[in-house]
Amino acid sequence: MIERDDELDPRVLDALANALEPTAVPAPGLRARLFGTITGRERFLPFLDRLIALFDLPEEETRREVDAILDPDAEWEPMLDGCSFRDFEGGPALGDAHAGLIRLQPGAVFPSHRHVGEERILLLQGRVRDSEGNEYRAGDTIVSADGSAHDMLAIGDEEVIYAAVVVALEFSGE
């Protein structure tokens, strides 16, 4: 018989298990509150300070735009197949740039485009892959320089939602 150092005597394991404190029973409704936070508008609140800075808007206005993400009555403009956007006025620091929120359905492609001016994106939900093969996920910031070009593919099964500040985009054929 071969003795191995990584095998513990079953009696030792039993003694360790019996020495553990019993687990507490979660409070009623904890699961519902937890999942409400994960799936509700609160899930975007960790990004609030970054969105305030990105959009150069006061907290109240930024919260209103974040709330629109999950508001079924909010106006979203169809842009391309599987893509819609919500354009709004950013603060004075944005200059000529536009502020907005973009949604991409799983598998949708935001087509190849060239940036006129710098583009700044904060990914709020989902994952994307650009034409260079770079993958980004929620919480990532993507900065694309003036004159740079790329496309973006929504990867995975989750809808992609991102905040963007951009001066202008030129699509192929324009």
Tell me the pairing of strands 98-104 and 109-125: unpaired
Q: Measured between alpha carbons, how far is 48 from 53 in angstroms, rounded to an integer?
A: 9
Rounded-to-integer distance, Cα 16 and Cα 30, Å: 29
In DSSP terms, 86 is beta-bridged to 101
Which residue has 């993958």 as its token pair? 135
Instruction: Inform me whether the pLDDT recorded for 34 exceeds 60.
Output: no
Amino acid 172: pLDDT: 77
- pLDDT number for residue 39: 58
C-alpha 132/C-alpha 103 separation (Å) is 21
Percent of the chain predicted with pLDDT > 70: 87
The CATH code that applies to domain 33-171 is 2.60.120.10
139: left (phi over 0), alpha (psi -120 to 50) or beta: left
Prediction pTM value: 0.76
**pLDDT greater at residue 128 or residue 18:** 128
pLDDT greater than 50 at residue 2: no
pLDDT at 123: 97
The SS3 assignment for 151 reads strand
Average pLDDT over residues 77-92: 94
Sequence-separated (6 or more) residues with CB below 8 Å from residue 130: 136, 142, 150, 151, 152, 153
Per-residue pLDDT tens for 92-135? 999 999 999 999 999 999 988 998 999 999 999 999 999 999 99
| Residue 12 pLDDT | 76
| CA distance linking residue 129 with residue 160, whole number of Å | 11
Tell me the per-residue pLDDT of 154-174, one tens digit each, with 9 for 90 and over: 999 999 999 999 998 898 765
The predicted-structure confidence for 40-74, as pLDDT tens digits, reads as follows 667 898 999 999 999 999 999 999 999 999 898 99
Residue 32 banded pLDDT, cuts 50, 70, 90: low
pLDDT at 1: 39
In 3D space, the residue among 39, 88, 44, 40 whose CA is nearest the CA of residue 63 turns out to be 44
| Beta carbons within 10 angstroms of residue 59's beta carbon | 11
Contact by Cβ (8 Å): 149, 113:
yes
